[in-house]
Structure 1
């Protein structure tokens, strides 16, 4: 008898094939677009191994909300007593976790907690047949996924990594594969023949707006100030022969300065911090608007503990000048054209009874966007931000907010990066990017919030001739590059493996008619 409750959810052919390939080819990284059921691959495999090996299953989720969500899926779809499916996080006492490890058949846990328990011998993976790593692109550096996966490989447990977006950097993908002991990469795209019938169409639209001429004077003031600070920084000799200095250059320089020695580096660090603040101010003005800039600029002066770098900015007469010019634009109700466009788009969606997530990069921007949307007809908006810093939300507050959104108590969620992954975000009709992001991973994660259960739409607002537009092209090129790298790596891995037995059930399943699906599935499950 199958342990997978097929009456509740019948696995799709490509999911079954991915599960079988994991069994026959070894540790596997499954790369599949959001909403196409990566977790089902893990559930299918878990049901099979629970039945055939009698060993336990470990599912690693990066956050507690995701761990709780995945545990519910196991309880719903795997035919074992619910008390044998447990969630372990740092909030559970160590002695209680030890007892749960001993009695459970399926353990869903956060990676840091599981890694700590392995180090303290509270847990051993010798009794586990499968370790699933959700959001596997995080398995780099010293992240806890890496340690747990190494222990899994040591004990002979099968490792299954799941991700929608590993990276556009070949070295990073290779690092993920090495850290997880990956032998096979299973890549599926929305254009694949066996996937296409299950894909809910997501319309993608880019809307370009002009940088307001009224903002030019303010931008010039900030840019001249930044150039002055960068010139002073170059005089220290630490910046080398940089031409145009970017934020990435400054971040790399900061790491070098912090690990260096000599008194002059402290002056360089102070100049660098000033430059970073000024760059951020320009970015906000160009991509978010004068309201976000004002919030950030005023916030610098309100901090209880200000650094010497910030104090230097506050003492400069140009600090007050920026505030005056920004305030004047706000008083005249001159806003970034993105605001009007956003009101128009989100308001129209709300009028049609649709739900929306608006992503903004910075908390300052979230507050400005929220204020604007609260004045928009038909819109009931709330904000979702991370846990750190002033104005942060606790995990409980985040969960309560998302439950309210799921219950349709409000129809627009304005979120920072925290809404991209790591939380159980409900599917929506519309995803609106208030600005572009340079990361292909974040682009894919954000876009995946629409079109999960029905057709959806994603709109990206872009300010012409600014960093906004540059980020737009960067993220698109990175996504294309990622797919090419994955295709190349898959071919290479498959070629290096000795031909194994075919996966007849899955291969037949892809060809059989719908009426024969249940019997072929039973052969595997």
Structure 2
């Protein structure tokens, strides 16, 4: 629209923040990667850019992609609240939407909220009109590396349409430069707008936060298990070191990544080696990498998570039978490994078993938090305060579901003061158990 494109509109129904206005202005005219800490308004920026492209291109299609359906639903609601895009022009497409309904939607609607997999399927089928797409918004854009669906969508669109804008949103652009560069290349980014918690223009809008690091010493049983397990792992590290395929025989300091890098180097330098020797070294690398992971779990999360990972590896090896490497077969027959597993199982059966001292310390911190809150509420009531009493909550983040289960079990011992609830995603690995669906996760978060 030649007239509409002479101006761009920014909402006045939201509090004015200079950084949002400035980023939005840049994103309208450049393919922009916006990196903002969580809670600082990436959604508003996306909604405003989408609204202006809706005005500027009356026949154009606007696409918002998010990696999960709940995130897609959140963005739809936000766009309705922030801008004037009519609901009749928008649609959410999912894998459950019938092909015919999707075809009709692409013909009659203008703003599409979907996951990248749905978008990729519609592009491949020819349902989505490539040439009419004028704006693509990518949420959680740091995922845009390798062959992720985000990358495939952009590649497919670019083959038949050279003129569309991209707005990429993320709270975590990537810890390494090469990761950020991959996102920039895959999503055709020409401008980066990045703000951190130390950026002067967002400091006034940050919630106060204190960070305290508490160091907890290993328990005696963890040290015993670590020493015994390190000896077992050391057998395979020693073989690799003797063959000059690896350089570190100190198991507690070895990571799976270090071993993987060393294996790749060894493969490049020994392409013509005797196949039996190659198989022996490959087997040692495989076992060492598989053992390095449980050992790291033991150090970070304690015995329960270590035991779950180790026994899963043992059971998988037994199921594979004769297909496993000679090194892995040797490990599974090891009396030292069997003895270690028995020791751990016996310890876990003890009534006062705690996987890691961190759990005890964490429990004490949580109890103190709720105790302090109760005392403050009583004080206010005694003094006749008119301030409305507020509930308090605590969120505990941990990486593994075994750790979640143990923390909840410990906190449950302190009901009704502490009402704990686990909050885990659906299992991505074998034997992980059934987690919450994305819809259930949202419901728990709102309680």
Normalising by structure 2, what TM-score?
Answer: 0.80
- Which residue does 2:227 correspond to in 1? 220
Q: Deviations over 1:417-439 (max 9, x none)?
A: xxxxxxxxxxxxxxxxxxxxxxx
Map 1:235-250 to 2 at 5 A: 239=245, 245-250=254-259
**Alignment check: 8 A CA contact 2:34 2:194 kept:** yes
Map 1:278-297 to 2 at 5 A: 278-297=291-310
Change in 2 beyond 3 A, CA 1:267/1:28: same
How many angstroms apart in 2 are the aligned matches of 1:213 and 1:276?
25
Map 1:26-175 to 2 at 5 A: 26-54=30-58, 55-151=60-156, 154-175=161-182
What is the CA distance between 1:22 and its match in structure 2? 1.7
How many angstroms apart in 2 are the aligned matches of 1:398 and 1:376?
29
What is the CA distance between 1:157 and its match in structure 2? 1.0
Change in 2 beyond 3 A, CA 1:279/1:312: same
Map 1:87-486 to 2 at 5 A: 87-151=92-156, 154-234=161-241, 239=245, 245-252=254-261, 262=275, 264-302=277-315, 305-306=319-320, 308=324, 312-330=330-348, 331=350, 333=352, 335=354, 336-350=356-370, 352=373, 353-377=391-415, 378-388=418-428, 389-393=430-434, 397-406=437-446, 408=447
Change in 2 beyond 3 A, CA 1:120/1:364: same
**Alignment check: 8 A CA contact 2:44 2:82 kept:** no
What is the CA distance between 1:345 and its match in structure 2? 2.1
Q: Deviations over 1:128-167 (max 9, x none)?
A: 3211111111111111212323455543111111111112
Change in 2 beyond 3 A, CA 1:362/1:270: farther
Q: Deviations over 1:277-323 (max 9, x none)?
A: 33233222221122323333444455572563665434211223212
**Alignment check: 8 A CA contact 2:237 2:248 kept:** no
**Alignment check: 8 A CA contact 2:236 2:288 kept:** yes
Change in 2 beyond 3 A, CA 1:356/1:255: farther
Q: Deviations over 1:190-227 (max 9, x none)?
A: 23333222111222221111122343222111111111
**Alignment check: 8 A CA contact 1:230 1:275 kept:** yes
- Does 164-173 or 251-260 show the bigger shift? 251-260
Change in 2 beyond 3 A, CA 1:105/1:179: same
**Alignment check: 8 A CA contact 2:62 2:136 kept:** yes
Change in 2 beyond 3 A, CA 1:11/1:148: farther
What is the CA distance between 1:93 and its match in structure 2? 2.8
Gaps of 5+ in 2: 374-390
Q: Deviations over 1:162-197 (max 9, x none)?
A: 111112322222221122222211122223333222
Normalising by structure 1, what TM-score?
Answer: 0.69
**Alignment check: 8 A CA contact 2:240 2:284 kept:** yes
Change in 2 beyond 3 A, CA 1:319/1:70: same
For the residue of structure 2 that corresponds to 1:193, the secondary structure is coil
What is the CA distance between 1:255 and its match in structure 2? 6.4
How many angstroms apart in 1 are the aligned matches of 2:116 and 2:18?
30
For the residue of structure 1 that corresponds to 2:228, the secondary structure is helix
**Alignment check: 8 A CA contact 2:237 2:249 kept:** no
For the residue of structure 1 that corresponds to 2:342, the secondary structure is helix
